[in-house]
Every structure is written in C-alpha cells, then in structure tokens.
Structure 1
C-alpha cells in the first residue's frame, strides 16, 4: 500500500525552501477567468489541488501551460470549449467535489458569465463548512440560487450584478474571496464589512489590483471594491506558504535541531512564532527566511486558541497537537474554526499520547516523554501532515497511509523533510 515510511527520533538539521501558497494560488487561478488576457502566475505550487484546478480551467476553455517558474493562463482561447460558453457547462466531478477551493469559481464565473451550475464543493472532512455566507452575500448583489439533484445553480438577475454593502457575521476567507471576485465585475461599489484579513485574501486583492481592479482597504477588515473596471494581463508571484512553513517549524520543535526555512513568510507568522517560542524554540527572522532552533523537550502551552488571522491558524492546530503530545506539562487546545478537527487524537493515542477530548472544540493533552512508532491513516490534509510529524518525533518506525491527502497541500513533504535530515521516504 502506498504511504510514507519514516524512522523517528532523529534531530533535524539543514535548510529547505518554502513552496508557494496553496490557499493563495487557488483563488488567484479562479480570478484569471475575469480577464480575456494572459495571466502569468509565478511560484504556483505543484500540488494536487492546483493540478485539479488547472483541469477545471481547461474544461472551461482556458489554455493553461506549466512553465519553469509557474503557470500561464489564457482564457477563452480553446476553440473546442470557449470560456464564453462556460455558463452552459455543469461543473461536476472529482475536481469539484474533492476540493473546497473550487467554490471560488462561483464568484469568478458569475462575474464572467452571469450564471453557473456546479456540484457542492468538497475538500477535507473537518466539519460542516456551510456555504450560506457565500450565498447570502451574492444574493445581495443580485444573484438568484436554486438547488436540485445535488447541484447548485446561480444566475444573475437582470443580466448584471450590482454593488452592495455586505456585512459578514464571521470573517470567512472563502466568502470574502467570492465577494471580491464577483464585485470587480459588478456595477457600482461593493463594501465588505467584517472581511477576512488572511494574507491569502490580501494576495487575491493584490492580483486583482495588478489586473486593473480598484480595491481600497487591502489587509483590513473593511474592503471597498469599485466595480466594473477593465481587467488586463499581469504577472504575479504567489507568496510563500505560511502553513507549510509552520509545519516544518513544528517538525523542528518535535524532533529537536535547527533548521532554516528559506523564503518563509515570517511577517505573516507572528502568532505561530509566538507559540513556538513559548514551547521553547528560538525563532530568528532575516531576509533569507526563518531560522528555528530547539534543543530541549518542548514546553506545554496552557491554552492555545485557533482563530481568524492574525490569530493562530486552524490549519496548524493538528501539527501543534502532534508536537504537544511530547511536551513537558499539560496543554489545552480550543478549536474555534472547525468543529471536527481533532480526528488525529485517536491515532496519536495509539502511539502512547494522552489526549482527552472535552467536546468537539476542546482537547487536553498531557505530554509524555516518548511516543512509539505506529501505522496510521491520514484522513485529511493537515491531519496527515501532523501524523508525519508525530512519526518523526516517535521512537522506531512509523508508516502513514492516505498520502494523497497530504499531496493536496505539500509539493513533496518527504523530499523537504529529507533536506532537513529526516529519514523518510514515499513507498
């Protein structure tokens, strides 16, 4: 069976370059549909979710080519499937149902075509992840929705979306991105109150403004989009992936050692490095990246809360839990984004970890001195990476199946960790 085999108990030493951001690249690829000209997306990660998204763009009639430094996207040039007919196509299949980020095609296709039919998007099984915020926001902009036979259909009333003042009751990244994608093509101004502040939202705004859109308040919780500006060709470099950088940072804490994460976006990682230093790591930033050193057993974190940016990211909660199983003392984690993100607790307990789940939101971890190697199954992306980290921190050999989940967000986690001295291979 395909999986990842690793030998634990080896301190990490070395440096590794951090790949481009998955969560920034996918909505930017969707945004390329909003212009008729060529877009060059550099530093785009070669991961499974990006390959799925490229497949979707090609189905919509785009010419998409991988180049040495990224992706070239030309909408509407495939004569067999012109993008102007995209509204007549049903967005179905594994590329939609297996990837949550396919939902950002909703705003992009409404902006380009005026209507779209698609299956409900999927992704990792880590909670209900409703899309009601997306739907209510787009309804305010003049979009009608209907659902039948598992398909979601959306159509713009009166032929054109209009600007609106939209208040998000929760700073949803996906909803903010869908509103932005629709708003740049809508008539008039759209104001988003309570917008997500994640760096990936900022990256989308930067790409859209590079194409000619006018967006005010970038990086803040209130965004103002001046709609219906002509969009043109641009070249944009995707920022490095803060979640991948955080994963390798926690790997160093769990295994001990010293690593240099080149091109790590440390400016976006203040909450992460704060927690790392509380656990006993030394974090030093420079123009080259982020240097991490940990020479002793990690210290427990009395209370770790996940939250929207600039809080501690939910995507790193699982890897933090994996490392805290070996920390000195008792830690408590409060998960505030997804209600079912403690799925790795059972396999970790199988390695000797002491974890008590109070409910779907709280976990108490009493650190143990040693974990034992085990055979484990990854069931979702970030939890899979966490199991790899647990295996590296354990004594003996571990084997993690479900590698395809991990490949959704990591270009080559085995190669990267080997560059840091880990004994790990894909088999």
Structure 2
C-alpha cells in the first residue's frame, strides 16, 4: 500500500485539466471485449483501476497497450476463462465482465465482486436482468456462473426494482447481441450510461434512449470497432477539484469539463457563496469569501451524486455560519471519512446515518486512513487545508480513482508526495 504525505496550509492557484471519467472507463474496458476488432479509447485516466482491468484482460488473452491517454485493446484472440478471484476482488467494476462475457460467449464465470466498502450494494438486479434475457445464474462455491440457453439470449421487457448504474450497464452489455428487442425500464440516466451507449452504437449496436429511464436495444449479431472513442470528462474529479479550489484556491481554472453534468453540484456550491465563471468546457473558481453551510441530499442522476458527498465535506467544514447536513440516500453507511476528519479537528457528528457539520473547525495535520476512493479524496482535501503535515495511509484508494493526482496538485502549488507505505 501507499501513503500520501501532505504539508498543508498552502494557497493553490493555476489550471487543472480533468481526465476521462473513471466510471465510464471501468465500463468501457469490459465492453471492449464485445468487439471483434481492436478498440481504441482516448482520454483514458491514469488510475490503478485501469491497470487492474488490463490485467484481467491479459488473463483472457486480450492484449492492451496504454500510451499517454490512449488505450488500445485487441480482443480478436480472446479466450473464455474463469477470472482470478484476487483480481476480481480488487475492484467492483470487474463485475461488468459478467455481462460482457455473457454477451460475447453466452457464459461467464466471475467471483463475487469486491471494491470499496461503502455499505450494502446488492447485485440482485443484475441477475434479474440476465435471467429475463434467458440466462441461468448459479452460485457455485462462491463464484457467479451465468450461462445462456443453447439457443442464446433473447430480448425481453425488464423493469429494475431500483435504479442501478451497475445493473443498467450489465444488462446493456448482455442484451446488445441478444436476439430481438430488449426494453429496460427504470434504467439509470447517468452521463456514463450515455457514453457506454455511444461507444457500443459506434461499433454497430442499436441502443436508443440512453440518458432516459427507458432504454431500447435491438440485438445485433456482431460488433466491430472502426473509430477511436473519446471518454467523457470525469464529473466527480471536476467536483473534487472545484471543492478544493473553493476551500483554499487563489484563482483555479478547471479545464475539460461538461458543465451540465455538474448542474446539481454547482447549484449547491453557488448556494454556499462560491463565486465562479461557468463555461461550456471550463470553470474558473475565484478566491472564496465567507461561505455558508447548506444541506446536501444525494439522489440518482441528475440529482447530487453520492460520489461527491465526501469531496464536498471539507468545503462545508470551511463554512463560517450555519449547520451543514449531508444525507446520502444511495449509500447511507458511507460515513467512514467522518471519523478520520474528526481526528484532524473537524466538528462533525453522525446521527442515524445523517452527517451533521458544525462551523468553526480549524483543521490540523494528522495520520488518517483512506477506506475508499471518495473518502480518500475528502481526507486529501482536508490535508491540503490543514496546518501541518497529514499522512494518509491506504492512499492506493485515492490513486484508484484520480488521474495523475500527485502531479496535478503539485502544479497548483501543493506540497504532496506519495510513497510506499512500509
């Protein structure tokens, strides 16, 4: 594991270029194995999850090459093999290989996924969708084995019991080569779903309605990549740096963003009193004056993203008046960062899974632990705000989700170094 050492209290200034969306990338890489020709992805973030997925591709005899921000994947000699338990446990998005392998081979054998510990994240909706398509789902010695009938998967009318990004992705991947029409109701509407559908459609898929709650898929026999696909900018990374800029920035400009993907987040920071110039593909954040507390309630897109409730918490800590409230309706147990922030001097309580933030905190450096990606981002921002030195253990979790984060922070003037944690 790695640790991040931050000497905080420095004012940050300059430009940040946002990378491709992590949550798109981890779906697009498994989706690439549906292609019968090489795939080129542009604007790929340099994060550990990409390295982990490339390792899983290698286990299926799929070659890949990552140069700068371009990832080339050649699945033409892919082989159906059970995926190693250890690697599957390293990231939750590995379960997208379940839908992709089912769509490509009519069978998948995948260990139960791992990933961040942010509370219960059942995958029964994934299984429900695949069973509607005709697949048989079995748990054999802790391994998920999904198999299509001899005649193959057939399109179906599927209604998710609850909106789920993961289930929406997996059902699309399985249905895109199924015979006939699939209608998916109560589908997730996130921009990353639209990005996946765009990628697949450019390979010959017939997907309509991505970005709405009803997605229609006409199955096709074969997918072939012809042109490179550019991944959308990462709205979570953008929101994280925007929070940082509002906390301790002396003029920070975020580049390569899609502002409409951040509408709910921007509305909240504007309500706090953050002064910004919002353009189509950039946001300039002015130095902040006195900020006011707000209430944040996470919701499925286009609501406030659960992945941004932790990165906005240090910004709330910096507010001078009012009481801050954070309610996560997606993952109510996503509160482990609060204990670590309180070690640094924050005045935060958790009551019945509701986060209550009191003004007047003065943060000082401490030794803390990043339990997962966004908790790590919250601690990183707090460390940059704090007086003295902060040591973040398990910093691999930050590196899993944030593109070239050490380099980007240094370019803004931060004193940040990542080491192996002995």
Q: Same fold (TM over 0.5)?
A: yes
Alignment of 1:44-193 (within 5 A): 44-77=44-77, 83=78, 85-86=79-80, 89-193=81-185
Instruction: Map 1:9-408; keep pairs closer than 5 Å.
Output: 9-77=9-77, 83=78, 85-86=79-80, 89-234=81-226, 235-301=228-294, 303-328=295-320, 329-360=322-353, 362-408=354-400
Change (3 A) 1:413 1:69: closer
For 1:139 and 1:217, locate their aligned partners in 2 and report how far apart those are by CA, in whole Å.
22
Q: Does the 8 A contact of 1:191 with 1:222 survive in 2?
A: yes
Q: CA RMSD in A?
A: 1.4
Q: Distance in 2 between matches of 1:363 and 1:208?
A: 40
Q: What is the CA–CA distance in structure 2 between the aligned matches of 1:191 and 1:229, rounded to whole Å?
A: 18
Is the contact between residue 143 and residue 154 of structure 1 (CA under 8 Å) also seen in structure 2?
A: yes
How many Å separate the matches in 2 of 1:291 and 1:22?
23
| Aligned 8 A contact 2:46 2:69 in 1 | no
**Alpha-carbon distance, 1:98 to partner:** 1.2
Shift of 1:266: 1.6
The question of whether the paired residues in 1 share the 8 Å contact of 2:275 and 2:288 is answered with no
- Classify 1:226/1:388 alpha carbon distance in 2 versus 1 (closer, same or farther; 3 Å): same
Q: Secondary structure of the residue that 2:336 maps to in structure 1?
A: coil
**1:287, distance to aligned residue in structure 2 (A):** 4.8
Cα distance between partner residues in 1 of 2:99 and 2:9: 47
Q: Distance in 1 between matches of 2:17 and 2:191?
A: 19
Name the SS for the 2:313 alignment partner. Answer: helix
Q: Cα distance, 1:255 vs. partner?
A: 1.6
TM-score normalised by L of structure 1: 0.94
Q: 1:409 aligns with which of 401, 405, 413?
A: 401
The TM-score with structure 2 as length reference comes to 0.96
**C-alpha displacement at 1:44, in angstroms?**
1.0
Deviations 1:23-63 (A, max 9, x none): 10111111111121111111111211011111111211212
Q: In structure 2, how many angstroms separate the alpha carbons of the residues matched to 1:92 and 1:112?
A: 19
8 A contact 1:42–1:237 mirrored in 2: yes
Instruction: For residue 210 of structure 1, report the CA deviation from its aligned partner.
Output: 0.6
Structure 1, unpaired ranges of 5+: 78-82
Report if aligned partners of 1:283, 1:292 keep a CA contact under 8 Å in 2.
Answer: yes
Distance 2:390 2:27 in 1: 35
Classify the secondary structure of the residue corresponding to 1:406. Answer: helix
User: Quick check: 1:163–1:188 contact (8 Å CA) kept in 2?
Assistant: yes
State the Cα deviation string for residues 358-383 of structure 1 (Å, max 9, x = none). 123x1111122411221111111110
Cα distance, 1:347 vs. partner? 1.2
Mean Cα displacement is larger for which, 273-282 or 1-10? Answer: 1-10
How far apart in 1 are the matches of 2:27 and 2:256? 21
Please give the secondary structure, in 1, of the residue aligned with 2:119.
coil
Give the whole-Å Cα distance in 1 for the aligned partners of 2:63 and 2:286.
Answer: 45
Please give the alpha-carbon distance, in whole angstroms, between the structure 1 residues aligned to 2:202 and 2:337: 41
Give yes or no for contact 2:246–2:274 (8 Å, CA) kept in 1: yes
What displacement does 1:68 show?
4.0
| CA shift in 2, pair 1:402/1:187, >3 Å | same
SS at match of 2:10: coil
Aligned length: 417
Contact 1:254 1:298 in 2 (8 A): no
8 Å contact 1:213–1:229 — kept in the other structure?
no
